[in-house]
Amino acid sequence: KQEVTQIPAALSVPEGENLVLNCSFTDSAIYNLQWFRQDPGKGLTSLLLIQSSQREQTSGRLNASLDKSSGRSTLYIAASQPGDSATYLCATNNNAGNMLTFGGGTRLMVKP
């Protein structure tokens, strides 16, 4: 059974810092991996989706990388802003079908 872990569970940084969020998974036979953002009391918003054949995806100040062999993905946020404060979750599926496995999320606080 796939297990997805995100460490740390919470992170606090000053505004302007570059930071990295980590996601690890136990079964490397993943199809793809998706990063989400969740604001308090809200649903999840898709940030980036990386196919298993890709190494990274970029959107603005966000860069997500994927290393299947080591079972890891990272989300890099450049020049962090208070508006980036949220919980970030990663999820992956496997070739078996339709079920995604989510990590527990990293709660990010960017202080002005």
Partner 1 sequence: NAGVTQTPKFRVLKTGQSMTLLCAQDMNHEYMYWYRQDPGMGLRLIHYSVGEGTTAKGEVPDGYNVSRLKKQNFLLGLESAAPSQTSVYFCASSYGAPLSTTNEKLFFGSGTQLSVL
Binding residues for partner 1, per CB under 8 A? 4, 31-34, 36, 41-46, 49, 51, 89, 91-93, 97-100, 102-105
Q: Which one, 71 or 103, has the nearer CB to partner 1?
A: 103
Annotate 86-105 with b (16+ C-beta within 10 A) or e (fewer): bbbbbbbbbeeeeeebebeb
Q: How far is the CB of 63 from partner 1 (least distance, A)?
A: 16
Minimum distance from residue 15 beta carbon to partner 1 (Å): 27
Residue 60's CB: how many other CB atoms inside 10 A?
Answer: 8
- Give the C-alpha separation, 109 to 112, whole Å: 10
**CB 6 → partner 1: shortest distance, Å?**
9
